[in-house]
Structures are given as C-alpha cells and as structure tokens.
Amino acid sequence: MVVNSFPLLNSTNIKAKELAREGADPWTVILAEEQAGGYGKEKRQWFSPKGGLYFSVILPKSDIKDIQILTVLAAFSVARILNEEYKVQALIKPPNDIWVNNKKIAGILTENIIAGEKAQSSVIGIGINTNIKNFPKDLANIAASLKIETGQESDNKDLMKKITEELKKQLEAISQ
Amino acid sequence: MQIKIKGKIYNIEVFEPQKGSVTVRVNGQEFNFGEKKNSCGRLKEKGKGKGTSSKESKKEIKAPITGVISKIFAKEGDPILPGQKILNLCAMKMENEIVSEIEGKIKKVAVKEGQTVKSNELLAELE
C-alpha cells in the first residue's frame, strides 16, 4: 500500500483526484493530519482539526453503476473496524455516515470523474473523529469522537491501514 | 452489525460464501454480489464492457446514473477541451464530475442546477 502523508491538505479527496489524473496507481492512499477545507456531500464542511483521521483512497477504474456499491462497502468496512477495535456500537446511516450514540463519528464521500460511460477515476474519502477532544458549539450535540466515547487514543495510521485493507478485501471479492 | 434507518434497526451480516462472491444478509434476507446471475455490484475491469463510442455520440453528454445536477460549470458557446468539467451530478451521495471526452464547443446545456435527471438523459450537447 502506497501512502502519501501530508501534515496539512486542503482536502485529501482533492489531492487524490489530482494524483489519480496524473496516473497514480489504484489503492494509493492520501493521508493528512489536518484539512483546511475538508468537505462532505454538497461541499458541506467537514470539521478536520489535528487529531482526526482524514484519508482518501484512489480506486480501481470501474463502471459507474458498480461504484455505487463502494460507498456502502466503505461504510461497512469502517463500521466493522470501529466495532472490532473500539467495541463501540457503530451504526451506518446509509449510505455514507457512521454514527455512535446517535452522533456522527465518521463520514464517507466518493467522488468520480466521468467521461462517457466510464469513471476515469474514482476516489473515496473517509473522515473519522478519532483523537478529537472537543467540538465547536454547533457540532457538540451532533458529532462524536472515539476519544470522547471510549477514552481511547487512536493510532490514526494503523486505523487507516486496517480500514483500507478491509475495503480492498471486500472490493476484490465482488470484482472477481 | 446494525443499521438504523428512520428509527428502524436492521441486522446486517456480510460474509463470503465462496471466493469471488459476497453475501449481505439483511434481517434474514440475502443479497448476493459477484455472481454471474446478478451483475449488481460486479466490478468490470478497465477496458471491458461496451466498445468505444463514436465522436458523434461523444458530442451528446448523457447522465451515466440517476441523480441531481448540483453544479453547472459550462454554458452555451463555451469552448471545451477533453477532460474539462461540464457539470457535477450528485447521485447516491457520490459526487460525480462529468467531463467531456472530446474537444468542441457547448451547443446546448439541457439541464439546470437542482434538476433531477434519469440515467441516459441528455445533459449537454457539443458541436
């Protein structure tokens, strides 16, 4: 697994799309300690301070209709790893959010660049509130972090690898 | 694993009954992916699938999937290069940048921001 790590990015998805256009290999990971302009669906801001886990994965080229399942598979992968590693009850709010104790703890955004019927490139961005100790007032009642929920400190790089491997495993299974 | 949708809890199990397939069981009902009888969820490799379309057909930019037009970047008369972004289509909570395959000029933008489009619906025409 090739991992490109950055202390700060505007958005890991933007960087991933840029690298995908330049021909980066599938399963290249872009990891940032912090995002200045992290975003989710419809460009809604994703709170991305240091401490959280923010990464994007460049996906293999696929038919656009098949990519729909990737977001769901990624949500499964994230929820499964969080349940296993932290013993939390992570629930999926389909297709792309993960909630713990009725608060959002992780989000997933798949972005495709499509020409004709084919996706020229696809990236999947995953943001998880891991070592975030507090949230701004407007998020405090709707956002959760693993640190707040479990008291556990996360090894972000290790968690990223586990989730990426799980996603790869799921995707390879349905691709054969 | 459990998923909560509109207050209702669904029990989900995902497992591989055999190499090359994945089964998702939702409250006891099974959905299989990766088998030939059900192409849903089956990923095609690069280069497989339909043949290369002609330049004429590439002048018609169609929705690859049902969704909502979230942003339009091009307007009638704009010159367009291969790979240039025409619009964003939001579908299944995926953001899709629709780009041109060819060089040309925008003859017509057939949709508006916020509009829901069906798969294969015309989005824009090039000349």
Return the number of CB contacts < 8 Å for A and B. 124
Phi then psi for residue B112, to 5 deg, are -125, 160
Q: Which two tokens stand for residue A14?
A: 């933007």
Instruction: pLDDT tens for chain A, 176 residues: list them.
Output: 899 999 999 999 999 999 998 999 999 999 999 999 998 877 788 999 999 999 999 998 877 767 777 788 899 999 999 999 999 999 998 878 999 999 999 999 999 999 887 788 899 999 999 999 999 999 999 999 999 999 999 999 999 999 999 988 887 776 66
Whether the CB-CB separation of B59 and A95 falls below 8 Å is answered with: no
| CATH code for the domain of B92 | 2.40.50.100
The token pair at B85 is: 């972004």
Phi–psi pair at A102, nearest 5 degrees: 65, 20
Distance from CA of B17 to the nearest CA of A (A): 10
Predicted structure pTM score: 0.77
Same domain? B61 vs B122: yes
| Residue from the list A41, A112, A173 with its beta carbon closest to the beta carbon of B22 | A173
Indicate yes or no: CB of B4 within 8 angstroms of CB of A42.
no
CA distance A156 to chain B (A): 23
Specify if B4 maps to a domain.
Answer: no
Query: In this structure, are residues A113 and B97 in contact, taking their beta carbons and an 8 Å threshold?
Result: yes
Q: Which domains does chain A have, with CATH numbers?
A: 3-175 (3.30.930.10)
Give domain status of residue B2, yes or no.
no
Domain range spanning residue B96?
55-126
Same domain? B38 vs B62:
no
CA angle A109-A118-B86, nearest 5°? 75
Residue B101 lies in a domain: yes
Query: What six digits make up the tokens of B80?
Result: 């367009």
pLDDT digits (tens, 9 = 90+) for B74-97: 999 999 999 899 999 998 778 999
Together in a domain, B66 and B121: yes
Regarding whether B66 and B31 lie in a shared domain, the answer is no
CB B96 within 8 A of CB B88: yes
Q: Is this prediction's ipTM beyond 0.95? A: no
